[in-house]
Amino acid sequence: MHLVYITPCTKDGLDQLPRLRTLSILFLAVFFQYTCGNAINPILAPLAARTGMSVVQTGLFFTLSSLVWLIASPFWGRQSERRGRVNVMVIGLVSCFILYALFGIVADWGLTRHPSPLFLFSLLLLIRIASGFFFSTVPVAAQAYIADTTCGMERTRSISLVWMASGLGSIAECGACLPQ
Instruction: Judge whether 139 and 166 are in contact, CB under 8 Å.
Output: yes
The three-state secondary structure class of 104 is helix
- The pLDDT tens digits for 114-126 are 999 999 999 999 9
The domains located in the chain, with CATH, are 18-176 (1.20.1250.20)
- The pLDDT tens digits for 17-26 are 446 788 889 9
Quick one: pLDDT band at residue 174, thresholds 50, 70, 90?
A: low
- Average pLDDT value for residue range 15-38: 80
Quick one: pLDDT band at residue 151, thresholds 50, 70, 90?
A: confident
For the chain, what is the radius of gyration of the CA atoms?
19
- Average pLDDT value for residue range 12-41: 77
Instruction: Judge whether 18 and 82 are in contact, CB under 8 Å.
Output: no
Q: What's the rounded Cα separation, in Å, for the pair 3 and 123?
A: 40
Query: Kind and range of the H or E element at 179?
Result: none
Q: What is the pLDDT of residue 134?
A: 96
What is the pTM assigned to this prediction? 0.80
Residue type, 152: G
Cα distances (Å, whole numbers) of residue 62 to 50, 68, 125, 127, 128: 18, 10, 10, 12, 8
Quick one: pLDDT band at residue 166, thresholds 50, 70, 90?
A: confident
Instruction: Judge whether 100 and 36 are in contact, CB under 8 Å.
Output: yes
Q: What's the rounded Cα separation, in Å, for the pair 112 and 109?
A: 5
Torsional class of 52: left (φ above 0), alpha (ψ -120 to 50), beta (otherwise): left
Q: What is the pLDDT of residue 175?
A: 56
